[in-house]
Structure 1
Amino acid sequence: MILMMLSSITIIFISNMIMILAMILSKKSFKDREKCSPFECGFDPKSSARNPFSLHFFLITVIFLIFDVEIALIFPMIYTFMMTNFILWTKTIFFFIIMLLVGLYHEWNQNMLNWTN
């Protein structure tokens, strides 16, 4: 027990010292106008650098992100199929899938899934 505590304290101490050393050594004091520009190449833009982007593309990205997270929530449900009560598992998965379908229907009803308006 004491050996575990001693090794944990040593690991925490070493990691904190490395983080402090990295913060001290990574200070940048030289500021260049080209490096502070919004482009990595250092060239000045020929037109406005703040062009508006498509809001519809952003909404499609948010919809994809939401469904991606929901798929990540379904995977543990598949894994726990054999370890839980079947009736409770079935009710939970059906409720989850119905919520997904209601959200999909709402997005379809609001014409969010059409790329062109």
Structure 2
Amino acid sequence: MRGAGHGVHDVRERGADVPEAVVLAAGYFRGYSVVGLLAVLGVLFVAVAFGAGRLLRPVVPTPEKLLTYECGVDPVGEGWAHTQVRYYVYAFLYVIFAVDSVFLFPWATVFAAPGYGVTTLVEMFVFLGFLAVGLLYAWKKGVLEWT
């Protein structure tokens, strides 16, 4: 036997006039309440773990512990170092090719399905256009030349 307070479904079973939109909204938000509860529990679990770590760890600061760690060698010079922009362009090229390889397999599987041929082909040409713009940018910057 069901108890009172189970929401819209109980009201409808007792004969009350409840609009269909209210019933649909209640079912819709009930599904997201589980996701929200899991998110709150996850954040709470991480917060408790970090708090316990902060409370239980030993705190004994020494001058050696307060130094910047640099591969076991005492740091020399300033903390500011110039980085060349070309390394960012290499990373940009890597991202372009990684996204390309990730996108090609699902495209190939969907392209073979009936009814998706033209749409998928147009999507792939749009994607290849973006890839070509990225490669053109790298070529104009001279990144593709081996020196």
Shorter-chain TM band: 0.5 to 0.7
Runs of 4+ in 1 over 6 A off after TM superposition: none
Alpha-carbon offset, residue 108 of structure 1 = 0.8
Q: Which amino acid aligns with 1:19?
A: V
Is 2:116 the counterpart of 1:85?
yes
CA contact (8 A) 2:110 2:116 kept: no
In structure 2, the residue matched to 1:105 is: 136
CA contact (8 A) 1:81 1:89 kept: yes
Is 2:103 the counterpart of 1:73?
yes
Q: 1:34 is matched with which residue: 48, 64, 70?
A: 64
Unpaired stretches in structure 2, ≥5 consecutive residues: 1-33
Alpha-carbon offset, residue 74 of structure 1 = 2.6
1 or 2 for the larger relative contact order (CA 8 Å, sep ≥6)?
A: 1
In structure 2, the residue matched to 1:45 is: 75
Alpha-carbon offset, residue 55 of structure 1 = 2.0
CA contact (8 A) 2:111 2:117 kept: yes
CA contact (8 A) 1:35 1:42 kept: no
In structure 2, the residue matched to 1:5 is: none
After superposition, give the CA deviation of every residue in 1:68-93 in whole Å (9 maximum; x if it has no partner).
12322233212212234212222221
SS at match of 1:80: helix
User: Following the alignment from structure 2 to structure 1, what is the Cα–Cα distance between the partners of residues 105 and 64?
Assistant: 47
Unpaired stretches in structure 1, ≥5 consecutive residues: 1-7
Matched residue count: 110
| CA 23–106 in structure 1, closer or farther in 2 if over 3 Å, else same | closer
CA contact (8 A) 2:93 2:134 kept: no
TM-score, scaled to structure 1: 0.63
- Identical columns (%): 22
